[in-house]
Structure 1
Amino acid sequence: MKKIAVVGSINSDYFVEADVLPKTGETILGNNFFRALGGKGANQAVAASRLGAQVTFFGSIGNDDNGNFAKDSFLLENVETSFLNVANNAHTGAAFVEISNSENRIIVIPGANSHTNKIYVKSHLEQILMHDIFIFQLEIPMETIEYLIPILYEKQKIIIVNPAPSQLIKQDILEKITYLTPNEHEYQLVLDQPDSSMEDALSKFPNKLVITCGQEGVKFFDGSRIVNVPARTVQAVDTTGAGDTFCGAFAVALADGKELSECIRFGNIAAALSVQKKGAQAGMPYRKDLDQFLKRS
């Protein structure tokens, strides 16, 4: 199997659950509190590793308790972290999530994620290039992505960019991405096509632009027609992390040498399994879970 590198963000996610969310100036009693490894990059690395891939993470943590927590969590998930950047002058990224029934409020503080910069990736370029498939998100500096993607393109690597949080990606970078995976709300901003229909956007990027549409499935243009790979219908408990699970699983299927439509199907199944438990990573399936699901379907 091809080796996967995730270049992305790491957060410690702090979750607080309560019956109601407090008003300004109000103090309430909550029901539950827990901490979990988070950040889109970390989520996608864990998703890929649980499905059997050999995954290395390139990113930054602070020299603090949350940084140690992140390293310990990655170790349990069999994600290689030998090349993590420890930023002594920054704290590990953090997200604070208030949850009440189906509502939530989230504040994200990037912290050390801003140190996943050109200097860092240049210093580890030799180790980075030892991998075959690369996953990026947009929670690290864009200059890092704009520096690294052309190098990977010249080396004929497979490059997946999950453009979240959504922002414009330059045309010359778009041309070098192998697979771009925005959702139905992100693609117009990412492509700088505010008035473009989904069909028009897909037709301009055959076998490259892969748009996830929630319960409507995933769409791409195969060069002759728009293909809609249907989502799997399950009883959802928490959809947090479903997109990250899809991206990690999609990369694993590519590492297995599957065709594009099969990679999407594999990702859809993994995402469907992930939403049946609370938390971004708690529901991410292991390979045996997905194999059992495939046998039953």
Structure 2
Amino acid sequence: MTRVLVVGSINMDLVVATATFPRLGETLFGQGFATHAGGKGANQAVAAARLGAKVTMLGRVGDDAFGRELMAGLSADGVDTRWVGVTAGVSTGIAAITLCNADNAIIVVPGANALLSPDDLDVAEAAFAEADVVLAQLEVPLATVEHAATLAVRHGKPFVLNPAPAMRLPDSLLARSTLITPNEYELAMALGEPDAHWQGLLAALPGRVAMTKGGEGAYYSDGAGAVLHQAGFPVQPVDTTGAGDTFNGALVAFWDLGLAEAVRRGCAAGALSVTKPGAQGGMPTLAELNAFLGSRP
């Protein structure tokens, strides 16, 4: 059982469906409303836990109803929340999402996520020492992510960074990252090479990039710089939300099997996740993933 430490965001997604987007000053009747547990950190923690990893979450929520609900949900999926801080006087992070046909408009309020600090990580340093692999994203302060990488290196642990939302990565953070897991756009942004071809960027970081590419699966480079391809798994998609987070959670859950097999299982888990609605709602269990892979040649 791989021991995974996830350092990242915990959000509540507030989703409104409507026939048309409102104009400035206009009030409309919506067609539906739902709340979904979210945040890239929490999503990836749940994905790894459902696939059999022993997962610890390091993050922050507000002292409010959303925070309590999200903490309970993480615990129900077997995620250890002892290092999730509760911040008084600040809301839990939310994403307000308006869905209209195939389009959406999203406002993210980081809330307590923005207060996750390097000091919080120092208090939880024992979690780094106990982990087999550390996973982070970019929905908490960059200085905190950089410190997470420093602590992972200090304790000799691999540091996997999902560089989303897309931004240029500091050279120091990139140097401390054992593996980065961007999509094509995020890879170009992370390396500050918007006009470069993705194959060249993979080859430039041999063995240190696994790039997701939707239904095509994933591309990654070996230690010699050769670009390898893991084909996607054809499915009938229902909701693609959370597929990338599922890939990342699976990748670290199966980290001990080596990069090629971890990527293969990550692609399979990501494909399986889009056959059900919701980010965390579609994330498969280990039994479901094994059955899915067993039905494929």
TM interval, short-chain normalised = over 0.9
- Retained in 1: the 8 A contact 2:128–2:155? no
CA distance in 1, matches of 2:197, 2:129: 37
Verify: 1:278 aligned to 2:277, yes or no: yes
* Aligned-pair CA distance for 1:224: 4.8
CA distance in 2, matches of 1:262, 1:123: 34
For residues 99-143 of structure 1, give each alpha carbon's deviation from its aligned partner in whole angstroms, at most 9, with x where no partner exists: 122221111000000111112111111233221111100000111
Q: In the alignment, which residue of structure 2 is the partner of 1:68? A: 68
CA distance in 2, matches of 1:36, 1:140: 19
Amino acid at match of 2:293: L
Q: In the alignment, which residue of structure 2 is the partner of 1:269? A: 268
CA distance in 2, matches of 1:286, 1:148: 28
For residues 45-68 of structure 1, give each alpha carbon's deviation from its aligned partner in whole angstroms, at most 9, with x where no partner exists: 011111111101000011111111
Q: In the alignment, which residue of structure 1 is the partner of 2:180? A: 180
Other structure's SS at 2:6 match: strand
TM-score (norm 2): 0.96
Give the paired residue count.
295
Q: In the alignment, which residue of structure 2 is the partner of 1:11? A: 11
* Aligned-pair CA distance for 1:20: 2.8
- Retained in 1: the 8 A contact 2:232–2:268? yes
Q: In the alignment, which residue of structure 1 is the partner of 2:109? A: 109
For residues 184-234 of structure 1, give each alpha carbon's deviation from its aligned partner in whole angstroms, at most 9, with x where no partner exists: 111111112233211211111111111111122211121152111111111
* Aligned-pair CA distance for 1:156: 1.6
Amino acid at match of 2:228: V
CA distance in 2, matches of 1:24, 1:227: 49
For structure 1, list consecutive stretches of 5 or more residues without a partner in the other structure.
none
CA distance in 2, matches of 1:86, 1:119: 15
Q: In the alignment, which residue of structure 2 is the partner of 1:226? A: 227
Structure 1 residues 224 and 208: alpha-carbon distance in aligned structure 2, compared to 1, 3 A threshold: closer
Amino acid at match of 1:106: I
Q: Which range moves more in the overlay, 218-227 or 281-290?
A: 218-227
Q: In the alignment, which residue of structure 2 is the partner of 1:204? A: 204
* Aligned-pair CA distance for 1:239: 0.7
Q: Which range moves more in the overlay, 87-96 or 120-129?
A: 120-129
CA distance in 2, matches of 1:268, 1:148: 26
CA distance in 1, matches of 2:27, 2:226: 55
Q: In the alignment, which residue of structure 2 is the partner of 1:287? A: 286
CA distance in 2, matches of 1:44, 1:160: 12
Amino acid at match of 1:62: G
CA distance in 2, matches of 1:19, 1:197: 39
Give the % identical residues.
Answer: 38
Amino acid at match of 1:228: H
Amino acid at match of 1:294: L
TM-score (norm 1): 0.96
Moved over 3 A (4+): none
Amino acid at match of 1:108: V
Other structure's SS at 2:25 match: coil
CA distance in 2, matches of 1:261, 1:277: 26
Other structure's SS at 1:9 match: coil
CA distance in 2, matches of 1:183, 1:262: 19
For residues 241-274 of structure 1, give each alpha carbon's deviation from its aligned partner in whole angstroms, at most 9, with x where no partner exists: 10000000111110xx212111111000000011
Q: In the alignment, which residue of structure 2 is the partner of 1:239? A: 240
Q: In the alignment, which residue of structure 1 is the partner of 2:258? A: 259
Q: In the alignment, which residue of structure 1 is the partner of 2:127? A: 127
Other structure's SS at 2:249 match: helix
For structure 2, list consecutive stretches of 5 or more residues without a partner in the other structure.
none
Amino acid at match of 2:157: K
